[in-house]
Amino acid sequence: MAFGEENGAQAACNIPFLRKAVLMESGLTRHVMNNLTAYSQLTELSLRLGLDFHQWNNAAIPLKKLKWMFLIDIAEDGSTTDCWNTATTILNLASTVFPDLEHLDISNCKRKKSDTTTQYICRRVLDDRQTGFLPRLQSFRYQGEVIGDLELESVLEFVRRNGDTLTSLDLAFEFGFLDGIMMDYLLQGVVTAPKLRSLAMPGRYRR
């Protein structure tokens, strides 16, 4: 039986004053996630979960800080899950479920053998989707792969939509060549967030 599955419901009920939680895939986590709205003092949440671990509804939760590390599979040829598209799904989810977010950190990690196998969001055409808007967002970090022009533009679109409140921006992905197009892209990322106090932009691939 998965950890926490047997007594998870009772354990989840016994921590009504929870303010901070670090959760990974387990039975206990499932019970906590199913009752997030009951934790009125919860302001900080760190997740190491696949997107389909929990069925979300539209109930708003007054979270201030969210760190989400989603699991990816790496194929034999080195290809991975469409990481930014998965991150976009998290951004849209956050704008509905966690509208008061001030700090958002999204990253990916390689799936371990002990992790549950899940189905991931399939690749979609990003120009048909808008990234989320978080009116109180101050800090945003993304670590993962960004592949292709549509994905790069989608990252920039999210910064544009939230740039008026951002004071910290960390885009931890790499690019191939620092040409005029990429330089213009990096500059756009800066000018769309005029209140920035902390900035970490992508770096070149290590060779």
**69-120 per-position pLDDT tens digit:** 987 766 555 555 567 888 888 999 899 899 999 999 999 876 655 445 444 3
E strand or H helix at 68: strand 65-72
Spatial separation of the C-alpha atoms in residues 130 and 160, rounded to whole Å: 11
Q: Does the pLDDT at position 55 exceed 60?
A: yes
Q: Which of 10-14, 89-93, 119-123 has the lowest mean pLDDT?
A: 119-123
Looking at residue 147, its pLDDT comes to 67
Residue showing tokens 């885009």 = 171
Give the tokens for residue 90. Answer: 């998290």
Q: Does the pLDDT at position 204 exceed 70?
A: no
pLDDT tens digits, residue range 138-162?
999 998 877 678 888 888 899 999 9
Which pTM was predicted? 0.82
